[in-house]
Chain A
Amino acid sequence: MNEAQGLQIDWAGLAPMIIVFAAAFGGLLVEATVPRARRLPVQVALAVAALAAAFIAVVLNSGKNAAAFAIEGTGLGSVVLDGPGLFLQGTLAILAIVAVLLLAERRTTRGGDFVAEAAVVADSAADRAQQREDGATEIFPLTLFAVGGMMMFVTAGDLLTMFVALEMLSLPLYLLCGLAKRRRLISQEAALKYFLLGAFASAFYVYGMAMLYGFAGTVDLAGINRAGVSSGQPRMFLYLGVAMIAVALLFKAAAVPFHMWTPDVYTGAPTPVTALMAACVKVAAFGGLLRVFNVGLASSAWDWHLILTIIAVATMIGGAIFAVTQRNIKRLLAYSSIANAGYLLVGVIALGDAVGQTMFYLAAYGFTVIAAFAVVSLVRDGDEEATHLARWAGLGKKSPATAVVFTVLMLALAGLPFTSGFTAKFSLFAAALQADELGLVIVGVVSSAILAFPYLKVVVLLWLNEPAPDAPTVNLPSPMAGTVVAAGVAATILLGVAPGPLLDIVDQASVFLNT
């Protein structure tokens, strides 16, 4: 547009994000114009179509390896379209389609899992009235905004763009967390907790960015990497900057000791939103971590290697041990998500050798965990989800199909062979070994063994225990949630039996621009 300044914009490269954001604005218009009764199908169709179109646009971009903005041929760092960025954008689009279908599920609870207004005082008369109404359809534009932010996050090539993307993906999520129809109070608590801690993390990010700017004289990641060897500024700026940026990103990724919010938010948020967070936010957060450490901080690896190793070990062991003690299925999955963040951190620490395998792990884990939360949302005590593990006893006798599906997902999370969990862990740890991270791999394997215990305990509970007389019912899913579960299980088994094609793709897409 600005030919006078010689600014070239790669519109095709930006298309996936533009499509998603435009659809999000379109969703707002739908809210304002379409009659209430017809909003849901319109919103779902719009969201799914936009995400599918974004995925196609990402595929058309494949093989690109350049900055989206350039002045007279010199790339600007703000948005970088390279292999990892595009692969993660595609993964996000697909996972978001699955998550949107789960958000649209209305058969398990009449009117959906959401309320119209999050800010109404919990359990007041107005709140009870809105629980009888249909839920908000704003969740779809909000989700699209968040997903658009995530797509921007994984391709952001400088710290400023990354910060804008971070806020864009976070703000809608804070709101979505507070919209649960049942157990309003803990839902509001989850939203507030996530918001306050998230805002705190964002502040760390901005301060860290200022420190790195003071050190490098630029917020561009490649420039920071060059400054890591050539800058004359005191090295203390670099240490402070790296530490603060890492705090913010590790918060989003739910690594110990920045994981405190995870169990509460995962439990309090509506289950479809939890699924979105566990799958998509994980992808975005680790996409950002991979890029920051590979592109921006590779030259200063010796400075942060030890502390990140300690965090990875704490995350792997801490997540696994806490998972063992959980009695609530959503909390169990939350702690397992923390432990998985630890394994993914091993991939981050291994830098260039493990980028592809980390991305494979993200895709595989995303599908499994979305399907797992979908099943959780189907098993119900009356109106509420039966999240207490004891209530799941003997489910295999009453609803064998659901139990089989959940067993497959649990075995995948436990990392048993012939599931995506095994291939993902195996390839990730193999890559880490190549990068001489033997210690981390040993800790990872030990942690996986600990973490397998709670999963297998659930499987035993499902099949070998007698059901209680008032055992929860399994609601038959509508095609929406049915598709989610089917897609998740299919991906889990397919990536376990035949991971080759996807591993080839991540292999080709594993090199960041400017590394």
Chain B
Amino acid sequence: METSGPADYLTFGVLLLTGFAFVAVAMTANRILRPSAPSADKAQTYECGVDPAPDAPPGRLASLAYPRTGAASPPRDHVGKDWAQVQIRYYVYAFLFVLFAVEAVFLFPWAAVFRAFGTAAAVEMGVFVGVLALGLAYAWRKGVLRWR
């Protein structure tokens, strides 16, 4: 087994720093360029697609947290207790995303070696994509793609 020294981790370290720098630059630029108009509603605990809790106190960090798509203050009667069962409709999108993300993950390296392997590779990828397409066809027929 090859031995690895600390120097091998240099690339990784550079990547890590670049990652941090990217986030920092993006956030700072955002902050400088955007208008600032804080309100109590925007500071509420917010979950995409879910009514915010009615009596959530405006957070202490209200001046820092400005959700860009702040939900309009909901009518009071839409708001329930803090303990509610919600329908998890998003799982379908998560599934479909995974379906295509995984497909893409395998398609790219496959495309790189496709020439060397010839028809065998084409058939194998055909089977793989076929299985995924079958899953999508099934989901479509079941009306999963329609928002209810």
Bound-state CA distance A2–B124 (Å) is 10
A31 and B138 in contact, given A25-B131, A119-B88 (Cβ under 8 angstroms): yes
Residue of B nearest to A28 (CB): B138
Per-residue CB contact flags for chain B residues 1-32 toward chain A (1 = under 8 Å, else 0) read 10000000000000000000000000000000
List residues of chain A with CB within 8 A of the CB of B36.
none
Interface residues of B in 98-148 (CB under 8 A from A): 117-118, 120, 123-124, 131, 134-135, 137-138, 140-142
Bound Cα distance A113, B131 (Å): 29
* Contacting pair A1 B123 (CB below 8 A): yes
Contact A2/B120 with A32-B142, A121-B87 known, Cβ cut-off 8 Å: yes
How distant is the Cα of A121 from the Cα of B84 in the complex, in angstroms? Answer: 11
Say whether B85 faces chain A, with CB atoms less than 8 Å apart: yes
What's the Cα separation between A25 and B117 when bound, in Å? Answer: 27
From A1, A4, A31, A119, B141 is in contact (CB under 8 Å) with: A31
CB distance from B53 to the nearest CB of A (A): 19
In the assembled complex, which residues on chain B have CB atoms less than 8 Å from the CB atom of A121?
85, 87
Collect the chain A residues with CB atoms within 8 Å of residue B134's CB: 25, 28-29
Count residues of A near B (Cβ-Cβ below 8 Å): 12
CB-CB contacts of A18-36 with B at 8 A, as 1s and 0s?
0000000100110111000
* Interface residues as binary, B30-64 with A (CB distance below 8 Å gives 1, 0 otherwise): 00000000000000000000000000000000000
Chain B residues in 8 Å Cβ range of A28: 134-135, 138
- What residues of chain A lie closer than 8 Å to B142, measured between beta carbons? 31-32
> Inside 8 A of B135's CB, which chain A residues have their CB?
28
Which residues in window 262-317 of A have CB below 8 A to B? none
Which residues in B have their C-beta under 8 angstroms from that of A1? 120, 123-124
Task: Name the residue on B nearest A31 (C-beta).
Answer: B138
CB distance from A226 to the nearest CB of B (A): 17
B-side interface mostly = helix
Most buried by A among B123, B124, B141: B141
**Chain A contact residues, majority secondary structure:** helix
- Kindly provide the distance from the CB of A328 to the nearest chain B CB, expressed in whole angstroms: 27
Complex alpha-carbon distance, A1 and B119, angstroms: 9
- For the complex, give the distance between the alpha carbons of A217 and B1 in Å: 10
8 Å CB interface, A21-69 against B: 25, 28-29, 31-33
Q: Which residues of B contact A31 (CB under 8 A)?
A: 138, 141-142
Q: Could you tell me the distance between the alpha carbons of A198 and B88 in the complex, rounded to whole angstroms?
A: 21
Residues of B within 8 A of A217 (CB): 1
Q: How far is the CA of A2 from the CA of B120 in the complex (A)?
A: 6
Looking across the interface, which residue of chain A has its beta carbon closest to that of B130?
Answer: A25
What 0/1 pattern do residues 99 to 132 of A give for CB contact below 8 A with B? Answer: 0000000000000000000010100000000000
Of the four ranges (under 10, 10 to 19, 20 to 34, 35 or more), the interface on chain B belongs to 10 to 19
* A2-B88 contact in complex given A25-B134, A28-B135, C-beta closer than 8 Å: no
Instruction: Tell me the bound Cα distance from A32 to B141 in angstroms.
Output: 6
Q: Which residues from A are CB-within-8-Å of B124? A: 1
Q: How far is the CB of A50 from chain B (nearest CB, A)?
A: 16
* Neighbouring A residues of B91 by C-beta, 8 Å: 119
Residue pair A2, B141 in contact (C-beta under 8 Å): no
- Complex Cα gap A29–B134 (Å): 8
| Chain A residues, CB < 8 A from B141 | 31-33
- B residues near A29, Cβ cutoff 8 Å: 134, 137-138
Q: How far is A121 from B85 in the complex, measured between Cα atoms in Å?
A: 8
**Residue ID in chain A nearest B87 by CB atoms:** A121
Bound CA–CA A37/B135 (angstroms)? 22
Given the contacts A25-B131, A28-B134, A32-B141, A2 and B87 also touching, CB distance less than 8 Å: no
B13 CB to closest chain A CB, in angstroms?
Answer: 24
**Complex Cα spacing A32 to B1, Å:** 52
A contact residues around B87 at 8 Å (CB): 119, 121
Q: Assess the A2–B138 pair: CB atoms within 8 A.
A: no
A121 vs B88: C-alpha distance when bound (angstroms): 10
Interface string of A73-117 (1 = CB under 8 A from B): 000000000000000000000000000000000000000000000
Shortest distance from the beta carbon of A175 to any chain B beta carbon, whole Å: 12
Nearest-CB distance from A161 to chain B (Å)?
17
A4 CB contacts on chain B under 8 angstroms: 117-118, 120
B138: which A residues are within 8 A, CB to CB? 28-29, 31-32
CA distance A32 to B139 in the complex (A): 8
CA distance A51 to B135 in the complex (A): 22
- Give the distance in Å from the alpha carbon of A350 to the alpha carbon of B62 in the complex: 66
Chain B residues in 8 Å Cβ range of A119: 87-88, 91
Tell me the smallest distance from the CB of A69 to a CB of chain B, in Å. 13
Complex Cα distance, B141 from A196, in Å, reads 30
Collect the chain B residues with CB atoms within 8 Å of residue A25's CB.
Answer: 131, 134
Output the residue of A28, A29, A31 with the most chain B CB within 10 A: A28
Give the distance to chain A from B76, nearest Cβ to Cβ, in Å.
Answer: 23
- Shortest beta-carbon distance from A188 to chain B in Å: 11
A408 nearest CB across to chain B (Å) = 42
CB distance from A25 to the nearest CB of B (A): 6
Q: Complex: how many Å from CA A119 to CA B141?
A: 18
User: Smallest Cβ distance from B148 to chain A, in angstroms?
Assistant: 11
Q: Which listed residue, B88, B131, B137, touches A32 by the CB 8 Å rule?
A: B137
Write the chain A residue with the least CB distance to B140.
A32
Report the minimal beta-carbon distance from A239 to chain B, rounded to whole angstroms.
Answer: 20
Q: Which B-chain residue is minimally distant from A29 (CB atoms)?
A: B134
On chain A, the residues within 8 Å of B131 by CB distance are 25
Q: Which residues of A contact B88 (CB under 8 A)?
A: 119
Q: Could you tell me which A residues sit within 8 Å of B by CB distance?
A: 1-2, 4, 25, 28-29, 31-33, 119, 121, 217
Provide 7 A-B residue pairs closer than 8 Å at the C-beta atoms, listed in order of the A residue: A1-B123, A2-B117, A4-B120, A25-B131, A31-B141, A32-B140, A119-B91
Q: Known pairs A32-B138, A32-B141, A32-B142; list 7 more (Cβ under 8 Å).
A: A1-B120, A1-B124, A2-B120, A4-B120, A31-B138, A119-B88, A121-B87
Nearest 7 A-B pairs (CB), nearest first? Answer: A32-B141, A1-B120, A28-B138, A2-B120, A121-B85, A32-B138, A25-B134
